[in-house]
Structure 1
Amino acid sequence: MPTIRVPVLLLRVFLATLFAFLIVMQVMSLPGDVTHDVQQAPEAAHLLWPILVVAELGVLCVQVVIVCTWRLLTMVQKDRIFSEASLRWVDGIVWAFVIAWSLLAGLAVYLTAFIYFTPELRDPGIPIVLFGMVLIGAVLVLLMVVLRALLRQATALRTDMEGVI
């Protein structure tokens, strides 16, 4: 598999860089930004702290996806991607997407309700953007479920072919 070696190596470099970036975001940037914003506008703390929690957990979900993808890349290099073991890593990705989507949907409902019950903030822009993000998230979750089903079918076909040969 010499043709796959360079893309896998490049993907690993970008995944490692993204993982390091996300750690910096989790530890320094997100908490620092929210703390600063709460100091500037203490009356908005009840909105900012839930956003921080959801953002931190969302970043954690992305980190899980990175780790699972890394393991799947190892399986690709060893020509073991069409195995039952790979399905566990894909399940990890699917569950990370489901959890991230659930967090986003919950935050969207919370923020939309707050905006709806605050007359001076009643602007349809934020709820519409949040609704769009929730729709995109749902599409990504369902796409991952379909791709997992395709991997399961390919794994079964490969197992059948190996049994014949």
Structure 2
Amino acid sequence: MQRPTLIVLKALIAVMLLLLLSCQLFLVPGTAQNLAADYPELAGLQVPGIVIAVLFLACVEVVMLCVWRLLSMVGEQSIFGSDAFRWVDLILASIIAATLLIAVAGVLLFAAGVANPSVQLLCALGIVVGSGLALLVGVMRGLLTNAAQLQHDLSEVV
């Protein structure tokens, strides 16, 4: 991968991280407070909603940081080393955690009696997309394993 491409990707990741952090600090608590004020029946969900949303965004941030590190490894031409597997495993764990947070949010909303069909559908969609992403990353990890083995075998031949 060419150096300018890596620089642009890292710049985009930095912007996304700043935006996600600002959402965690300002948007999520402010929105939760406004919803609790406008809909008193949702006031009991304010704190759990903030916690789940902040943790979900933290999972996304962890994925971004892992991708940053993997991009650095590509630039250093060390992507086929054993360190890459740690970062991919962390991405996989973050996706699974985010998917579980969506499921927990859906259960909380359903238990509170405020999960209308569209909210239930969005939660189901989030769980399906998260599961699909986890499976995709699992397959990509398998491909990385195969490529690392081929790289190792090739280095022994040369």
Q: Which residue of 1 aligns with 2:150?
A: 157
Structure 1, gaps ≥5 residues long: 116-120
State yes or no: 1:101 paired with 2:99. yes
Q: Which residue of 2 aligns with 1:111?
A: 109
Q: What percent of counterpart residues are identical?
A: 33
Pick from 70, 83, 89 the counterpart of residue 68 of structure 2.
70
| TM-score, normalization by structure 1 | 0.88
- For residue 125 of structure 1, report the CA deviation from its aligned partner: 2.3
Task: Write the distance in 1 (CA, Å) between the matches of 2:50 and 2:104.
Answer: 13
Structure 2, gaps ≥5 residues long: none
Q: How does 1:1-165 map to 2 (within 5 A)?
A: 4-115=2-113, 123-165=116-158
| TM-score, normalization by structure 2 | 0.92
Deviates more, 1:105-114 or 1:144-153: 105-114
Alignment length (residue pairs) = 158
Greater than 4 Å deviation, 4+ residue runs: none
Letter in 1 for 2:87: W
Deviates more, 1:53-62 or 1:126-135: 126-135
Task: Write the distance in 1 (CA, Å) between the matches of 2:32 and 2:117.
Answer: 24
Task: Write the distance in 1 (CA, Å) between the matches of 2:110 and 2:124.
Answer: 9
